[in-house]
Amino acid sequence: MVMQQYIRDSGHSISRDKIITNTFLKKVRFGVPFFGENKVARFLKIVYYDLQPCEKIKLNIGDAMKEYVNTFMRYRFLLGELVKKGIKLKYRRSYLGIIWSLLEPLLTMIVLTIVFGTLFGNKDRTFPVYILTGRLLYTFYSSATKAALKSVRANSAMIKKVYVPKYLYPLSSVLFNYVIFLISLIVLVPVGAVLGVEPTLYMLQIPIALILVFLLSYGCGMILATIGVFFRDMEYLWSVALMLIMYTCAIFYYPSRLLKSGFSWILKYNPLYCTIDVFRSGMFGEPMNLHYAAYALVFSLVTIAIGMFCFKKKQDEFILYI
């Protein structure tokens, strides 16, 4: 039976008179347009199609990656605009605006230093820097993943109107938080200088940690963005999970406290803690733990692969749930 559906051009590199889609039908199909493209339809990349079943078209990994890169390059301007939009919305109606990206971690560091420095009797002069480094990376991971989780539903109006590669939404959410995170790192310079942290060549390790935390956040964000469309309660569950992650990242206590209690494995298998440890090693002039760096990298890449696979497999069903 011939079916008529109102669908969006998928953007696949296939002749203009055919389309690949699994929207609505959840099967790979192609069709021939029976309703001529007018100017509006051509602008919105929307057209009516006669859909007919056909055999599945298999794309190998090389083709999939090539398509991903080509799509990214084609829509890089839009990605930049989404990032700018995210930054503007975050500090909308705020008097200080982007300055809060510096003030917030600084004020948090002061509060945590007073509370936990007094509670644990810590007199280490560089303890505030220790707290600040952990807090900065954790805050980025938390903000980026929460924004990515809600990114598809937050852009539901655009998704319903015009074709845009859907993975751009969680990617832009992670990117705009990453820009804010990089700006917030500036606060480490004066704080470190005042508290006696001396610059060394080991600080060249810091960019490694910055790459690792971005990859980890993007991978987790892609998985959460997929789940968040179908399971709205994930937003609340993830907030609880983030609290657990925070307490297992040794942000405001030294890892030696867990080592004494026999729970050191909690830190070793926490990729975010491993990334924070690499960052701190560079900050305090120590060689990084290669095991931690390798584990965080492998974990992040596997997470990205799983996230992209799940997102791509389910993205055509998003429109039914947003």
Say yes or no to pLDDT of 84 above 90: no
Structure tokens at 74: 């084609």
Q: How confident is the model at residue 140 (pLDDT cuts 50, 70, 90)?
A: very high
DSSP string, 46-67: EEEEEEEE-PPPP--HHHHHHH
Is 99 found in the same domain as 8? no
Q: Report d(CA 134, CA 272) in Å as an integer.
A: 10
In this model, does residue 45 exceed pLDDT 50? no
177 shares a domain with 283: yes
pLDDT at 180 over 50: yes
Question: Could you tell me the pLDDT band of residue 1, with boundaries at 50, 70 and 90?
Answer: very low
What would the DSSP string read from start to end of 201-237? GGGGGHHHHHHHHHHHHHHHHHHHHHHHHH-TTHHHH
Domain-terminating residue out of 18, 43, 58? 58
Average pLDDT for 140-145: 95
Task: Provide the domain count of the chain.
Answer: 2
Are 49 and 95 members of one domain?
Answer: no
152 and 102 part of one domain: yes
Query: Residue 129 pLDDT more than 80?
Result: yes
Q: Are residues 91 and 175 in the same domain?
A: yes
pLDDT band for position 74 (cuts 50, 70, 90): confident
Q: Indicate if 288 and 234 belong to the same structural domain.
A: yes
Structure tokens at 114: 């007073």
* Residue 306 pLDDT grade (very low, low, confident, very high; cuts 50, 70, 90): very high
Contact 213, 137 (CB under 8 A): yes
Give yes or no for a contact between 249 and 276, defined as CB atoms under 8 angstroms apart: yes
pLDDT at residue 56, as a whole number = 44
Give residue 254's pLDDT band: very low, low, confident or very high (50, 70, 90): confident
**Overall average pLDDT of the 49-54 stretch:** 42
pLDDT, position 261: 66
Q: What percent of the chain has pLDDT over 90?
A: 34
Phi, psi of 50 (to 5 degrees): -85, 115
pTM over 0.85: no
Q: Please say if the pLDDT value at position 18 is more than 50.
A: no
Given a contact cutoff of 8 angstroms between Cβ atoms, the answer to whether 17 and 32 are in contact is yes
Q: Residue 98: pLDDT band by 50, 70, 90 thresholds?
A: confident
The helix (H) or strand (E) run that includes residue 3 is strand 3-8
pLDDT band at 50 (very low <50, low <70, confident <90, very high): very low
Q: Kindly state whether residues 43 and 74 are assigned to the same domain.
A: no
Same domain, yes or no, for 279 and 293? Answer: yes
Q: What is the mean pLDDT of residues 88-114?
A: 81
7 three-state secondary structure: strand
- Residue 27's domain comprises 3-58
The pLDDT, as a whole number, for residue 48 is 39
Burial 257-273 (b: 16+ CB within 10 A, else e): ebeeeeeeebbeebbbb
- Lowest-pLDDT range of 57-66, 127-136, 291-300: 57-66
Query: Residue 33 pLDDT > 70, yes or no?
Result: no
Measure the CA–CA gap between 40 and 45, rounded to whole angstroms: 8
The pLDDT of residue 38 is above 50: no
